[in-house]
Amino acid sequence: MKWSPKFAYALGLLTSDGSLSIDGRHVNFTSKELELIKLFRACLCLDNAIGRKVRSNEREKRYYQVQFGDVIFYRFLLDIGLTPKKSKTIGSLKIPDDFFFDFLRGYFDGDGSVFSHKDRRWKNSIMHYLVFISASRNHLQWIQDTNRRLLSIRGAISQGGRGVFQLRYAKRESRLLAKRLYYHLVLPYGKRKFRKLQKIMGEWRNW
């Protein structure tokens, strides 16, 4: 497999909202956002049809999905650390440093969030956070360690509700990380979260 920013971004999406079938061949990517499904297909040069699906205890088909079979790609995913039923067992992945932030941008579009609130300690002070979410603490630990090594930012991991963990970056660190995630706007990214980032942090060029 040839690494590129688009390929790494697609792997980030797949890590957050994808799954590997136990048949050793099929790969599925599911999202509520049709834009992310289209980006995923484009980055991997797929022409497979986009379907709709429901999840357990739901009636309305609110999710989009694309599924394809590729034994070589499937084995590559196993080699870098992805597995079937990975949600709680995923740990570190073999992502080249040169493409780590492209991967992380895809992961953020799938399982990330950004928000802000007033800091009561100081008048007119606003705290903003860039957050990554996973059911696996080990996976977030790997992301945290890699960000520390490549960008010298620390972040903090905490346990949230429903058995998931959060890796949070605040204020200065969130800006440094956002600037690396969106280092060039000709690369693939989800527009919804990018617009939310700009609303909270201001114009992209000023991050």
Q: Encode pLDDT of 85-107 as tens digits.
A: 999 999 999 999 999 999 999 99
Question: Global pTM?
Answer: 0.93
Q: pLDDT band at residue 122, thresholds of 50, 70 and 90?
A: low
Residue 190 or residue 118, greater confidence: 190
Say if residue 18 is in the same domain as residue 53.
Answer: yes
Residue 37 phi, psi dihedral angles, 5° rounding: -60, -45
**Same domain, yes or no, for 56 and 136?**
no
In the chain, which ranges are continuous DSSP H helix? 5-17, 34-43, 71-80, 100-111, 137-151, 171-181, 191-201
Q: Sort strands 126-134 and 165-170 into parallel, antiparallel or unpaired.
A: antiparallel
Average pLDDT, the chain: 93
Domain of residue 76, CATH code: 3.10.28.10
Tell me what the mean pLDDT of segment 148-152 comes to.
Answer: 99
Query: What residues make up the domain containing 149?
Result: 106-206
Q: Both 126 and 180 in a single domain?
A: yes
Total structural domains in the chain? Answer: 2
Residue 122 domain flag: yes
The CA distance from 177 to 148, in Å, is 10
In a domain, 62, yes or no: yes
Residues 52-64: what's their mean pLDDT? Answer: 76
Among residues 77, 111, 69, the alpha carbon closest in space to that of 95 is found at 77
d(CA 63, CA 195): 22
Token look-up 């998931």 returns 164
Residue range 171-182, pLDDT digits in tens = 899 999 999 999
How far apart are the C-alpha atoms of 195 and 175, rounded to whole Å? 14
Which residues is 117 bridged to in the sheet? Answer: 127
Is residue 70 domain-resident? yes
pLDDT score, position 128: 86
